[in-house]
């Protein structure tokens, strides 16, 4: 059976990709690496949700480092928000690819492809670019069709649901948008 390393951004988004990849015949291993989640209390909530979800799914997960200091140092030098997103997707895909190669796993992908809030086209392109660099196969699936089913299951499992993407910039944007909507 061929193995796939699945980068996991959060518990709710992992449910459908794990099930779809298993249906395709992959032996799936999770990889939780998200230095873009701030503050640390929020990171812990998402981490715990992945622990619960992976236990429910019988999924083995690598809980990788939380090198948020380096992330903050680098992202704060980027002014453009689109470039910040790209940087943020790229570093997580690169680390997933590096670990997949180290472990002899030929294929990798990410639960970021399950989110209707992310730029799936750009994430697929970045994944393919990173895969070529590491000599791996990027599973450029569109997991978004399973988003509603994933979130229904995650509510039944009482998983934590975040209300912003992850970084401190997105937390500010999310609060501002909610305030704006309340004023309309």
Binding residues for ligand SF4 (CB under 6 A):
36, 84-85, 88, 165-167, 169-170
The least distance separating ligand SF4 from the CB of residue 22, rounded to whole angstroms, comes to 27
Query: In the chain, at which residue ranges do the beta strands (DSSP E only) sit?
Result: 3-8, 27-32, 60-63, 107-110, 137-138
Minimum CB distance to ligand SF4 smaller for 40 or for 152 = 40
Q: Closest separation between CB of residue 172 and ligand SF4, Å?
A: 10
Q: Do 159 and 12 touch, CB atoms closer than 8 A? A: yes
Which two tokens mark 122?
Answer: 């750009």
Cβ distance to ligand SF4 smaller for residue 16 or 34: 34
Return the number of the residue (6 or 28) whose C-beta is nearest ligand SF4.
Answer: 6
Longest dimension (CA), the chain: 54
- Cβ closer to ligand SF4: 15 or 165? 165
- Judged on CB neighbours under 10 Å (0-12, 13-18, 19+), 138 is buried
CA distance 91 to 14: 19
We find the least distance from the C-beta atom of residue 50 to ligand SF4, in angstroms, to be 16
In the bound complex, what is the minimum distance in angstroms from residue 169's beta carbon to ligand SF4? 6
CA distance 26 to 124: 19
């Amino acid at each position: 059976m061929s193995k796939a390393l699945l980068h996991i951004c959060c518990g709710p988004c992992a449910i459908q990709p794990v099930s779809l990849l298993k249906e395709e015949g992959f032996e799936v291993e999770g990889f939780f690496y998200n230095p873009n989640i701030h503050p640390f209390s929020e990171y812990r909530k998402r981490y715990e949700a992945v622990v619960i979800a992976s236990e429910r799914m019988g999924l083995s997960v690598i809980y990788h480092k939380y090198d948020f200091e380096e992330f903050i140092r680098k992202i704060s030098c980027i002014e453009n928000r689109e470039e910040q997103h790209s940087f943020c997707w790229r570093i997580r895909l690169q680390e997933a690819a590096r670990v997949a190669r180290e472990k002899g796993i030929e294929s990798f992908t990410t639960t970021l492809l399950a989110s209707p809030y992310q730029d799936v086209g750009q994430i697929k392109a970045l994944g393919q670019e990173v895969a070529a660099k590491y000599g791996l196969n990027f599973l450029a699936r569109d997991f978004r069709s399973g988003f509603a089913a994933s979130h229904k299951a995650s509510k039944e499992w009482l998983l934590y649901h975040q209300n912003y993407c992850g970084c401190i910039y997105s937390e500010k944007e999310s609060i501002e948008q909610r305030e704006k909507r309340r004023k309309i």
